[in-house]
């Protein structure tokens, strides 16, 4: 399975960095020992998207493959005895779809100037705009040195393959530090997250909002179910194939109308139900005896990740109820600290989801393109910071509550 190796000396003695072409190059047990990859054994909160199950499911379902333009090129860092001490989920890509950090303009400009932008390397969880570890260090290992070795290895792989660039997207802060030190450029963007300030229930959360905002949300939630709609929350053994059939119909209908071609297939959802059922929360809306809308969420160690929504009927405010309000209810009940509601969407602000800066790090091999992108990113970071500060001041919280949050 190895497509290349490189060696060196680190705190583990002689180490070897290998490039492998699939998750089957890692055993489930050794991947579990990576920080954040297991609910049972972790030095940092569990992130379901970097679990062996999730990344393997993407490959097994065929949503990630050379044919889909996502060719696995995972990095595997081994000690001298073959023990896994670090890893990177990495893909060789022939396009920029399914990333949620946009570089189409860079590709167009470089190719108009005679360069070749694709293929490129993408360090990410495919189709998933959620922050998490990208330079995965083994539990008990010297994390800083392992992440530094992985960042350096990623640059070496980019140069060895002769590709234009490597893009680490939605990276955790500790990864960003090592990528910055390795010479990657820094990129920021904005998302909206709900922060659970130890609320007793949804009403307790509402009490922190300005009066007008509080009344608006109460009215919105009542209107969402006024036609006799009921909401079910399904997880674990409740995730039957019939339920997945319903949700997949919503996902395909809405995804086809909004994006043209949804990324995930029916097999993906069956495998998730089979192997990750306890990590999934499906919020489903029932009307006239059948499900008409739903949203899939993944349950992490300290947060809920909202992912995909779909519907086959339009009902006022139902999207907000299924995707945002129910997620807050669940997070409060489970004691989860954060709800991440996915990419974009300033409409989330009024519903208690506040602006949060996300971070990515591109490495650009061509010096001229690198200089141009570095200038662009400096302006972009300034703009993101300005917008974030403005939005922070226009949230739904009472002024005193907002000042305490800051």
Same-domain check for residues 212 and 133: no
pLDDT given at position 141? 83
Look at residues 120, 130, 33 and name the one whose alpha carbon lies nearest to residue 79: 33
pLDDT given at position 140? 82
Look at residues 193, 196, 189 and name the one whose alpha carbon lies nearest to residue 388: 189
Q: Is 148 a domain residue? A: yes
Model confidence at 77: pLDDT above 60: yes
pLDDT given at position 343? 86
Same-domain check for residues 297 and 250: yes
pLDDT given at position 3? 44
**Residue 161, domain CATH:** 3.40.630.30
Question: Residue 90 and residue 205: Cα distance in Å, rounded?
Answer: 39
Q: What is the DSSP letter of 397?
A: B
Confidence of residue 9 (pLDDT cuts 50, 70, 90): low
Q: What is the pLDDT of residues 192-208, one digit of tens each?
A: 999 999 999 999 999 99
Q: Which of 336, 351, 380 is the last residue of a domain?
A: 336
Same-domain check for residues 142 and 284: no
Q: What is the pLDDT of residues 298-316, one digit of tens each?
A: 999 999 999 999 999 999 9
- Both structure tokens of 181: 């030190």
Model confidence at 42: pLDDT above 80: no
pLDDT given at position 6? 56
- For 215, other C-beta atoms within 10 Å of its C-beta total 12
Domain that holds residue 289: 197-336
Model confidence at 403: pLDDT above 50: no
Q: Is 217 a domain residue? A: yes
pLDDT given at position 1? 34
Model confidence at 2: pLDDT above 50: no
Q: Which neighbouring-strand residues pair with 357?
A: 190
What is the average per-residue pLDDT within 160-165? 97
Q: Is 207 a domain residue? A: yes
- The DSSP line for 216-232 is HHHHHHHHHTTTS-EEE
Question: Residue 339 and residue 32: Cα distance in Å, rounded?
Answer: 24
Q: What average pLDDT does the structure give for the chain? A: 94
| Share above pLDDT 90 across residues of the chain, in percent, rounded to a whole number | 88
Same-domain check for residues 17 and 83: yes
Same-domain check for residues 299 and 331: yes
Question: Residue 395 and residue 324: Cα distance in Å, rounded?
Answer: 15
Q: Which of 301, 336, 371 is the last residue of a domain?
A: 336
pLDDT given at position 7? 56
What is the average per-residue pLDDT within 19-41? 95
Lowest mean pLDDT among 164-178, 297-311, 313-327, 338-352: 338-352
- The DSSP line for 16-80 is EEEEESSGGGS-HHHHHTBTTS-SSS-SS---GGGSHHHHHHHHHTTSSSGGGTEEE-EEEEEET
Task: Characterise 358 by phi-psi region: left (phi > 0), alpha (psi -120 to 50), beta (else).
Answer: beta
Q: Is 403 a domain residue? A: no
Q: Is 127 a domain residue? A: yes
Same-domain check for residues 184 and 265: no
How many domains, in total, are found in the chain?
2
The answer to whether the beta carbons of residues 111 and 122 sit under 8 Å apart is no
Q: Is 346 a domain residue? A: no
Residues in the chain: 406
Model confidence at 251: pLDDT above 60: yes
Model confidence at 405: pLDDT above 70: no
Same-domain check for residues 241 and 210: yes
Q: What is the pTM of this model?
A: 0.94
Same-domain check for residues 151 and 16: yes
Confidence of residue 344 (pLDDT cuts 50, 70, 90): confident
Q: Is 216 a domain residue? A: yes
What is the average per-residue pLDDT within 46-55? 98
What is the average per-residue pLDDT within 28-48? 92
Same-domain check for residues 280 and 177: no
Same-domain check for residues 41 and 165: yes
Q: Is 348 a domain residue? A: no
Q: What is the pLDDT of residues 117-161, one digit of tens each?
A: 999 999 999 999 999 999 999 988 889 999 999 999 999 999 999
**Chain-centre distance for alpha carbon 212:** 33
Same-domain check for residues 162 and 31: yes
Confidence of residue 404 (pLDDT cuts 50, 70, 90): low
Same-domain check for residues 223 and 176: no
């Amino acid at each position: 399975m190895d497509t290349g190796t490189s060696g060196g000396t680190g705190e583990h003695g002689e180490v070897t960095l290998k490039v492998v072409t699939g998750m089957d190059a890692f055993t489930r047990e050794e991947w579990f020992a990576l920080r954040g990859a297991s609910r049972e054994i972790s030095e940092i909160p569990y992130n379901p998207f970097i679990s062996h199950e999730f990344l393997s499911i993407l490959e097994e379902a065929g949503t990630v493959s050379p044919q889909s333009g996502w060719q696995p090129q995972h990095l595997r860092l081994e000690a001298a005895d073959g023990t896994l001490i670090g890893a990177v989920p990495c893909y060789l890509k022939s396009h920029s779809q399914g990333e949620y950090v946009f570089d189409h303009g860079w590709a167009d400009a470089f190719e108009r100037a005679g360069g070749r932008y694709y293929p490129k390397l993408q360090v990410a969880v495919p189709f998933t705009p959620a922050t998490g570890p990208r330079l995965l260090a083994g539990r008990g290992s010297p994390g800083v040195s392992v992440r530094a070795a992985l960042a350096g290895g990623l640059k070496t792989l980019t140069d060895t393959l002769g590709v234009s660039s490597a893009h680490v997207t939605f990276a955790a802060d500790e990864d960003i530090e090592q990528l910055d030190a390795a010479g990657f450029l820094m990129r920021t963007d904005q998302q909206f997250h709900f922060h659970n300030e130890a609320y007793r229930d949804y009403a307790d959360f509402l009490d922190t909002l300005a009066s007008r905002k509080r009344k608006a949300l109460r009215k919105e939630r009542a209107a969402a179910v006024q036609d006799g709609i009921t909401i079910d929350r399904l997880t674990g053994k409740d995730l039957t194939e019939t339920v997945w059939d319903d949700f997949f119909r919503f996902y395909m209908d809405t995804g086809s109308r909004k994006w043209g071609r949804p990324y995930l297939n029916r097999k993906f959802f069956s495998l998730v139900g089979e192997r990750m059922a306890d990590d999934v929360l499906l919020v489903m809306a029932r009307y006239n005896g059948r499900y008409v809308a739903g949203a899939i969420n993944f349950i992490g160690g300290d947060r809920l990740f909202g992912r995909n929504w779909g519907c086959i009927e339009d009902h006022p405010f139902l999207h907000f109820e299924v995707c945002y309000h129910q997620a807050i209810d669940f997070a409060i009940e489970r004691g989860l600290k954060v709800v991440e509601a996915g990419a974009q969407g300033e409409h989330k602000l009024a519903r208690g989801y506040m602006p949060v800066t996300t971070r990515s790090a591109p490495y650009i091999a061509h010096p001229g393109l690198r200089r141009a992108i570095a200038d662009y990113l400096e302006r972009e970071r300034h703009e993101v910071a300005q917008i974030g500060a403005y939005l922070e001041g226009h949230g739904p919280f009472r002024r005193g509550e907002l000042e305490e949050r800051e």
